[in-house]
Structures are given as C-alpha cells and as structure tokens.
C-alpha cells in the first residue's frame, strides 16, 4: 500500500516532508542492512549510522530495528479518529473500518517487505507483534463503545480485512483504505453465508 498521509502545505508541509524523509531514510537503511545480514546481525546504531540519524531520532520513528526494516511504525490512534469512532452511529464494523484506516500505517513498499519476510523468516514475529499491538489499540477503543466480546470479534474481522487488503490493493488515501476494508469485510460475510 502506498503511504496514506495527506499532503500538507506551508511550514507544516515542510516539517511533514522532512519527517517522511527521515522515516524513509531509517527504513531504507534498516531494510538494506537486515536483508544483507539478518535481524540479529544488525544493531540500531548501525542503522542510525547508515541513515545519518541518532538513536534517539530512530526511536521517535520506530519501536525496534525489525519494525524499521519492515517500515512498520508504532500504532497510535489519532485523537480525532478516536472521538469520531466514539460518537459515530453507524454499524460497529463499518465504523471500525474507518477507525483502522485512520490509524494503521501500512508500508508503501510491500513487495520489498514481502521479499524481506521470505528471505528472513525471523522477521515474521515482528510483523505478528505489530498486528497484535495494532489490534489491541483498536480493541481498547472499540470496547468503550460495545461489550468486550462484540468488540473483540469485530476488531478481529477488520484486522483480517487489513491483511487481505494489504495483499490485494494499493491505495492512495485513508478514505480509499476504509472503503477497501469495508469491501473485504462484505466479501467475508458473503463467503461465510455461502
């Protein structure tokens, strides 16, 4: 999937571009080093040296070297998305698709990410941990709106749709991602009742 960040203008646009350049530099350095030497054969300090950043800067963008290699930043739910979900009156699953689309940042270069995971199976736990962390963040918000069992089931469904959408589609915006997630969830429902 492509980056789903909206373009900004003015000073905030320049700041966002610089942040994106730093994020990309860290990701590219980590991806190259981990592809060549494996996750255990690389240190955060080596990634930082290759990217031209400090370890402090590294951890502002990625929680681990595995996340940096895969291009998976920590998942945090934006306050506006949290509030919109809490006050929405649509279907729980549809609203969760919107919340997840506003929250989860999927890597822009998924073909290289897939190649890394295939070449370096030690990366699978990092990917699974990222998904589990994202699921927990979303579940906590969903559980505030409905009962725990319904929240868990709905979040599991939508997160499965994220995995499927990542395999199938390249999207240009968060709105398009939300629509794609709704489409995959609807397809799952049709298959379950067939």
- Of 64 and 3, the structure prediction assigns the larger pLDDT to 64
Nearest residue to 115 via CA among 61, 63, 71, 159: 71
Q: What is the pTM of this model?
A: 0.80
Q: How confident is the model at residue 96 (pLDDT cuts 50, 70, 90)?
A: very high
Residue 3 lies in a domain: no
Residue 14 lies in a domain: yes
pLDDT at 119 over 70: yes
CA dihedral 6, 12, 18, 24 (to 10 degrees): -20
Containing structural domain, residue 86: 10-193
Q: What is the mean pLDDT of the chain?
A: 90
Helix, strand and coil in the chain, % to nearest 5: 75, 0, 25
Report, in angstroms and rounded to the nearest whole number, the Rg of the chain calculated over CA atoms: 17
Residue 1 lies in a domain: no
- Give the pLDDT confidence of 135-154 residue by residue, as tens digits: 999 999 999 999 999 999 99
Token pair recorded at residue 9: 């203008």
- Give the pLDDT confidence of 21-78 residue by residue, as tens digits: 999 999 999 999 999 999 999 999 999 999 999 999 999 999 999 999 999 888 889 9
Distance CA 43, CA 110 (A): 23
Give the DSSP per-residue string, 47-78: HHHHHT--HHHHHHH-SSHHHHHHT-PPP---
Give the pLDDT score at 177. Answer: 92
User: How many domains are contained in the chain?
Assistant: 1
| CATH code (residue 45) | 1.10.357.10
Q: How confident is the model at residue 4 (pLDDT cuts 50, 70, 90)?
A: very low
Token pair recorded at residue 26: 């860290």
Among 58-72, 99-113, 119-133, the least confident range: 99-113
- Of 107 and 170, the structure prediction assigns the larger pLDDT to 170
pLDDT at 81 over 60: yes
């Amino acid at each position: 999937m492509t980056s789903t960040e909206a373009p900004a203008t003015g000073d905030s646009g320049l700041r966002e571009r610089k942040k994106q350049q730093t994020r990309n530099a860290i990701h590219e350095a980590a991806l190259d080093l981990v592809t060549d030497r494996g996750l255990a054969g690389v240190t955060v300090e080596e990634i930082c040296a290759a990217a031209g950043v400090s370890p402090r800067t590294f951890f502002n963008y990625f929680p681990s070297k595995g996340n940096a290699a895969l291009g998976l930043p920590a998942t945090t739910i934006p306050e506006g998305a949290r509030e919109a979900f809490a006050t929405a009156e649509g279907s729980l699953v549809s609203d969760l698709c919107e919340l997840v689309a506003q929250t989860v940042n999927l890597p822009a270069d998924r073909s290289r990410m897939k190649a890394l995971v295939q070449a370096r199976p030690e990366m699978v736990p990092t990917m699974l941990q990222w998904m589990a962390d994202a699921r927990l963040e979303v579940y906590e918000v969903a559980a505030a709106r409905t009962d725990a069992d319904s929240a868990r089931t709905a979040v599991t469904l939508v997160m499965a749709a994220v995995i499927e959408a990542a395999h199938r589609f390249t999207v240009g915006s968060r709105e398009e991602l939300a629509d794609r997630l709704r489409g995959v969830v609807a397809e799952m429902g049709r298959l379950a009742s067939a």
